[in-house]
Structure 1
Amino acid sequence: MDREAEKSRILIFGGTGYIGKHMVRASVSLGHPTSIYVRPAAAPQTRTLSLDLRREFHSAGVRIIEGELEEHEKMVAALKEADVVISALAYPQVPDQLKIIDAIVAAGNIKRFLPSDFGCEEDKITPLPPFQEFLEKKRKIRRATEAAGIPFTFVAANCLAAYLVNILLHPHDLHGEIVVYGNGEANAVLNYEEDVGKYTIKVANDPRARNRVVTYRPEPNIISQNRLISLWEEKTGRSFKRVYVPEEDLVKLSQTLPPPDNIPVSILHSIFVKGDLMSYDINEDDLEASRLYPEMQYTTIDHLLDVFLTDPPEPPAMAAFK
């Protein structure tokens, strides 16, 4: 059988976004016929970065379909040319995935749908109210997917590592202070964005992951703030003053800051004070990405800090904090 015939046709919504672009690149590198559904280039919301990525993807053989999420028939037509659908839409567009679900039902041929999760395992944690409300919108999409009978994979990718390293360590700055949330001892899970892209393409095509939740929790990427700072100090040969923000301050800010500014504070509390990402066990029957694909070479936090030393990624916009 022709190997190309075995490859799933993958359609990605949000493919020019912060995490979506890594999924597109991974899909192409793994040999899948890949399409992206994006806003028209002339739309007011279309950014220069998106246009640059479209040129990159076009050169790589990616099919670019321009349309809005309100264009039901156009989406159905695009879906009929796909086997797997991945949504990497940013948080403000999460509720709009109901339109994608409606189009998937109408198309009737999709073998797997991955909605825009790629953060914490929202069905297993109870964070502060602003983050809870944030997650409830994602839970609604999960429940709608299940109710529609669409084969799915839900992904708990945990933290996007390059983004969080920029937030926590400010490696582009030369100041000598680093803010620590809580006491700095809660463990989090930081996965490099490129690896999140690769794992996502793999699970999207893996029959073991059908109608399952997959967690990305490689052991070397479980780390506390204090350990992360110590590693950074070892690699840079510098010593940083640690400025601790007490839990009660974060809770108060979550109650007093106006939306949406209260959401990032609540996320920081969930991850780095409560340790929500490590609040549940991964059992033998659960699906964890590094166990599913032991052959895949992923980027450890230790290696990622080496990358920041030699060629630091530019800090992304706060809107990428999903």
Structure 2
Amino acid sequence: MSKSKILVVGGTGYIGKRIVKASLSQGHPTYVLMRREIGFDIDKLQMLLSFKEQGARLVEGSFSDHQSLVDAVKQVDVVICTLSGVQFRSHNILLQLKLVDAIKEVGNIKRFVHSEFRTDPSRMGHSLEYGKETFVDKMVIRKAIEDAKIPYTYISANCLGGYVVGNLSQPGSLVPPRNRVSIYGDGNQKVVFMDEDDVATYTVKSIDDSRTLNKTLYLRPHKNILTHNELIEKWEKLTNQTFEKVHISTKDFLASMEEVGDQVAKAGLVRIYHIYYEGCSMNFKIGKEGEEASELYPEVRYTSVDEYLRRYL
């Protein structure tokens, strides 16, 4: 069976570049949208050219030019949008809605994966106010996709390792703490930690799979479901070190959030709250609305938390 042609939108981003790599490695004809707005961003241009050298086709387009998006979409079977989460703030939600309009007009796309890749927004209607707009925006896009009857797969990848594994989920740094670590609540909520390359692998695996059509693909590989306590214990074992542990109560954590002025930082703390105090990645059973990735694709050798942590030694 021939492989679907995939257009990656946002291919130079954190997840996007990994989607391009996974698409190529799995043998898909891979197209990457090269936005005219790239300007003088030399790093992005060099990355795009490297994709071309690896076999991807660069397709010029712009969100300010509807026809260019239509022309890009016409060339492929699948669209995977990986725009940064920052793009959901303020008026930038329009970017993905414009992409939805182009896909709807063309009418040939057999699967659309839009930019989620973390917590399932359909389960976050109760979110704290500071970070709620991201979830609300994602649900607006979902509604547009479903109203247009565009075939879709939503990806719920939970916690990306680069943000929460290497730093033991300590805000303000991306590297491990030296001797003291904060633990949220009792530290016993189950959390799903994911290697970003594995997120891309599972995503591309799903796009030609009828079992994931119009469903959410939840990434919950067994070895990567840990509590905060277990994550810290793994690092202590690897480093032969014992940390001073400070447990932060729900009340104290919420109070500390009130003192944070930067809204982006505050939104990040909201994520920590929902992940570690509420256990939002594992506090529900997957029903008919979804499938679990590692069960569908047992052949994927995913990166364990232990392996991910060793990078920081």
* Same fold? TM cut 0.5: yes
Greater shift in the superposed pair: 116-125 or 300-309: 300-309
Deviation at 1:15, TM superposition (A): 0.8
- From 40, 43, 52, the equivalent of 2:39 is 43
- From 75, 78, 85, the equivalent of 2:79 is 85
SS in 2 for 1:24: helix
Give 1:191's aligned residue: 194
SS in 2 for 1:12: strand
Against the structure 1 CA distance between its residues 231 and 171, is the aligned structure 2 distance closer, same or farther, given a 3 Å change threshold?
A: farther
**Cα pair 1:128 1:254 within 8 Å, conserved:** no
Deviation at 1:78, TM superposition (A): 0.5
Matching residue's letter, 2:111: R
Give 2:280's aligned residue: 276
Deviations 1:72-104 (A, max 9, x none): 101100000010000100123231200000010
Greater shift in the superposed pair: 298-307 or 162-171: 162-171
Gaps of 5+ in 2: none
Give 2:110's aligned residue: 111
Query: So what's the TM-score if we normalise by structure 2?
Result: 0.90
Deviations 1:141-191 (A, max 9, x none): 111100011001111111111321234266745621222222222111001
Against the structure 1 CA distance between its residues 85 and 230, is the aligned structure 2 distance closer, same or farther, given a 3 Å change threshold?
A: same
**Cα pair 2:182 2:246 within 8 Å, conserved:** yes
SS in 1 for 2:59: strand
Gaps of 5+ in 1: 310-322
* Percent identity (aligned): 37
State yes or no: 1:52 paired with 2:46. yes
- From 5, 11, 20, the equivalent of 2:7 is 11
Greater shift in the superposed pair: 155-164 or 228-237: 155-164
Residues 69-148 of structure 1: matches in 2 within 5 Å? Answer: 69-94=63-88, 95=93, 96-125=95-124, 126-148=126-148
Give 1:218's aligned residue: 221
Give 2:150's aligned residue: 150
Matching residue's letter, 1:110: I
Matching residue's letter, 1:239: T
Deviations 1:227-263 (A, max 9, x none): 1010111011112122333222332344453423320
Q: How many Å separate the matches in 2 of 1:189 and 1:166?
A: 14
Give 2:160's aligned residue: 160
State yes or no: 1:264 paired with 2:268. yes
SS in 1 for 2:123: coil
Deviation at 1:288, TM superposition (A): 0.3
SS in 2 for 1:168: coil
Query: So what's the TM-score if we normalise by structure 1?
Result: 0.88
Greater shift in the superposed pair: 110-119 or 277-286: 277-286
Deviations 1:241-300 (A, max 9, x none): 223332223323444534233201111100111111111013588410000011111111
**Cα pair 2:166 2:309 within 8 Å, conserved:** no
